[in-house]
Amino acid sequence: MAYHETKYVSGWLILVLRHEKEKLFLTGFLFLELEVVLMKPDVIHFRVK
């Protein structure tokens, strides 16, 4: 019984952590994009052309 509970808990933790990691990654990516847009508009225009 204890083994199955441990397995369930660890599986749940992995899912939660994976979800948090994805959220953090996406948020970080969005902030990075914003930073690029705000700080370096010249670079963006250069890329578009």
Q: Can you read off the two tokens belonging to residue 15?
A: 């899912």
Backbone angles phi, psi at 11, to 5 degrees: -65, -40
pLDDT band at 8 (very low <50, low <70, confident <90, very high): confident
Whether the pTM exceeds 0.85: the reply is: no
The number of domains in the chain is: 1
- 34-43 pLDDT tens trace: 887 777 666 5
Domain containing 37 equals: 2-48
Among left, alpha and beta (phi > 0; psi -120 to 50; other), residue 40 is: beta
Would you say 43 and 36 are in contact if contact means Cβ atoms under 8 Å apart? yes
Q: Can you read off the two tokens belonging to residue 11?
A: 């599986």
Residue type, 38: L
